[in-house]
Structure 1
Amino acid sequence: MSDFSRRTFLAGTATAAAVASGTTSYAGASDGSPSGARRTRTSIYRQNIGEIELLSITDGATSFPRRQDFVTNRSPEDVAQALQQAFFPTDPITLTFTPVVLKSSGKLIVIDTGLGEAAFKQSNGIGGQFHSNLAVAGYDAGSVDRVLITHFHADHIGGLVTADGKPAFPKSEIWVPAAEYAFWMNSGNMAPDASEAMVANFERARRIFGILGDSVKKFAPEMEVAPGVTSIATHGHTPGHTSFIVTSGSDKVIIQGDVTTHPALFIRHPDWHGFTDVDPVMAEQSRRMLYDRIVAERILVHGFHFPFPSLGHLTREDDGYRLMPIMWNPAP
């Protein structure tokens, strides 16, 4: 395993871990579709939410060997069957990374930042594509007014700093969940027998937010964190994991971050627990709470690890839910 692979694996998330594995590939190269299928690399997708413009901007995609404990409370056979029933390969697993950009009331807002420029360089462009794709969309990091973070895993905060360790959004306010910040900044929360992955998470958070310093602001649940954007506590995946609801007129979308990572597994089976969840029981409770609301109110949902462009609706199915992806519309 290369040095980059080892450090990224220790990020503590399956997605970040997989970015640099030997079998990794990005969107447009190998996405689990039939080997003879023609693939197109797509990086940006626009969706109007009332008067707010939402851009899904890819940070890359990854394929990685499925861990035997990818779902901790089900057998590997159950997981393989669920993937097969959803027409996904049983091994490897492919996931995408998709941050969000909002244009709201004259403000440019980024939600999550991907793996970052260092990962882009070290992985030869497999991960960390967000900043270059932001430029393709017509923006640069210096034009961003505010960055909102769902949680502190590597694939969400890595893009906050440049490859040479400077703030990547020099003119932006960085807003993070107060509970998330409090957890990762307190060394007393790291158990004596903490895994290498947890230690790496603590070290990374301190390094990144040490660089950012006074630009970091903390927010609470149910707080308006940007024009038309309100925070929702969805703790469990991490202690302060937060989602956002974006509202303009009668239109709404929920940016759910990592409430679930793989739709065929944790949406379809909300009681399944992912190995990257810090508190899997709480993560399940948050998942059901949020998804019950999404179904009842017929709210559009964006998932960081959903297939690009990462937008869809949820319906109930048996004891779980099903993701209904949006109809792709190439019109701007």
Structure 2
Amino acid sequence: MLNRRTFLGAGAAATTAYAAASFVPAWAQNAPNFGTPTLPNPGFRRAKVGDVEVIALLDGVARRPLGEEFVKNAPLAEVRALLASQGLSTDYIDVPFTPFLIVAGGRRILMDTGLGEFGGPTTGKLLAQLSAAGFQPGDIDTVLISHYHGDHINGLRNKAGEFVFAKAKVMVPAAEHAFWMDDVKMAAAPEAMKGAFNNVRRTFAQMPAGMLQPFEAGVEVAPGIRSIAAYGHTPGHTLFQLQSAGQSFFYIADLTNVPALFARNPDWAVTFDMDAEAARKVRREMFQRIVDSKAMVGGFHFPFPALGRMAPSGQGYAFQPAA
């Protein structure tokens, strides 16, 4: 594991050699020839779930070209046809990044952290949105991490190595932490993945005692918030269900990247899923569970406001944004 002294040096090396897989994931980089996405203003949205407030905080949007590799098991022509049927571009994909803040009594619980200082100019807006919504980093008492991809964990530390949410405990899925911190798995990983392993070590190196708190799947991680194993996208990918006063909210993290594609066709596999078959299975199961429970849903890569409902549509499901 990296220590404080080697933090910056290792970070620089990882940035140079593995930028696409670590500090700035490929899906978090704009393709200039397709223009720059316009960010909504304000970039936060509040919703009530029972007695609890849920706030979507847009960290930014990246625009990436749509190529054959994006959907691994469907012809590009079919992918473009589905996008066109919804009035979306067939040349590029806009990928938003949206953490969520839960305000419950005196608790301030942040779900995922965005790209922090390591993304492009149209990302890294989380702290500004947090401030606009009336909160500061020191107000956060708990950070819940869904999985260890860079766009979910890079906001934990800044480029100087300082912890952004210094007063918060950082709760992480035990299965996810075990995988990415396994030196044997890192040594056996393809070169293209080693940057992601390095980035995990950069992020979690020498957290103060008591800050890092792994949890097992299915446990209550905070009052009214339960973790749900949704393995496939990554080995420990985890969702969170909030329940309050008879109402429910599911934060589904990366259960689907681009709901216009992978909710409408849950059997399609995005290039980022590490175990495509497991991801497809859990995607269908969770979307049906959400529909059956009439719950509100929040998706990290959903179009702003990233809050809404899921409804059956054809062979899959459609995201209905909150008004």
Using the size of structure 1 for normalisation, the TM-score is: 0.87
* Cα separation, partners in 2 of 1:277 and 1:195, compared to 1, 3 Å: farther
TM alignment of 1:54-65, pairs within 5 A: 54-65=54-65
Cross-structure match for 1:206: 201
**Pair 1:25-2:36 in alignment:** yes
Is the CA contact 1:26–1:127 (under 8 Å) kept in the aligned structure 2? no
TM alignment of 1:93-112, pairs within 5 A: 93-112=93-112
How far apart are the structure 2 equivalents of 1:213 and 1:55? 28
Is the CA contact 1:8–1:19 (under 8 Å) kept in the aligned structure 2? no
**Pair 1:189-2:185 in alignment:** yes
% identity of equivalent residues = 36
SS in 1 for 2:54: strand
Is the CA contact 2:15–2:22 (under 8 Å) kept in the aligned structure 1? no
Is the CA contact 1:96–1:304 (under 8 Å) kept in the aligned structure 2? yes
Is the CA contact 2:254–2:299 (under 8 Å) kept in the aligned structure 1? yes
- C-alpha distance after superposition, 1:199-258 (max 9, x if no partner): 111110011111425311011111111121110111100000000001101111100000
How far apart are the structure 2 equivalents of 1:131 and 1:237? 27
* Cα separation, partners in 2 of 1:4 and 1:19, compared to 1, 3 Å: farther
SS in 1 for 2:131: helix
Cross-structure match for 1:35: none
How far apart are the structure 1 equivalents of 2:50 and 2:153? 28
Letter in 2 for 1:109: I
Is the CA contact 1:27–1:60 (under 8 Å) kept in the aligned structure 2? no
How far apart are the structure 2 equivalents of 1:168 and 1:100? 16
SS in 2 for 1:190: helix
Shift of 1:66: 1.4
SS in 2 for 1:264: helix
Letter in 2 for 1:138: G
TM alignment of 1:86-97, pairs within 5 A: 86-97=86-97
Is the CA contact 1:12–1:276 (under 8 Å) kept in the aligned structure 2? no
Work out which of the residue numbers 247, 252, 268 in structure 2 matches 1:251.
247
Is the CA contact 1:5–1:17 (under 8 Å) kept in the aligned structure 2? no
* Cα separation, partners in 2 of 1:165 and 1:229, compared to 1, 3 Å: same
Cross-structure match for 2:277: 281
Shift of 1:5: 9.6
Shift of 1:295: 1.2
My pick for the range that moved more, 211-220 or 286-295, is: 211-220
Letter in 2 for 1:204: N
How far apart are the structure 2 equivalents of 1:46 and 1:111? 15
Cross-structure match for 2:233: 237
Is the CA contact 1:52–1:103 (under 8 Å) kept in the aligned structure 2? yes
Name the count of aligned residue pairs.
307
Is the CA contact 1:300–1:312 (under 8 Å) kept in the aligned structure 2? yes
Work out which of the residue numbers 129, 137, 162 in structure 2 matches 1:166.
162
How far apart are the structure 2 equivalents of 1:22 and 1:268? 25
Using the size of structure 2 for normalisation, the TM-score is: 0.90
* Cα separation, partners in 2 of 1:316 and 1:22, compared to 1, 3 Å: closer
How far apart are the structure 2 equivalents of 1:145 and 1:161? 16
Letter in 2 for 1:54: V
Is the CA contact 1:177–1:241 (under 8 Å) kept in the aligned structure 2? yes
TM alignment of 1:1-332, pairs within 5 A: 7-11=18-22, 16-23=25-32, 25-28=36-39, 40-119=40-119, 123=120, 125-190=121-186, 192=188, 194-196=190-192, 198-214=193-209, 215-327=211-323
How far apart are the structure 1 equivalents of 2:106 and 2:16? 40
Give the unaligned 5+ runs of structure 2: 1-13
Shift of 1:281: 0.4
Give the unaligned 5+ runs of structure 1: 29-39, 328-332
* Cα separation, partners in 2 of 1:134 and 1:179, compared to 1, 3 Å: same
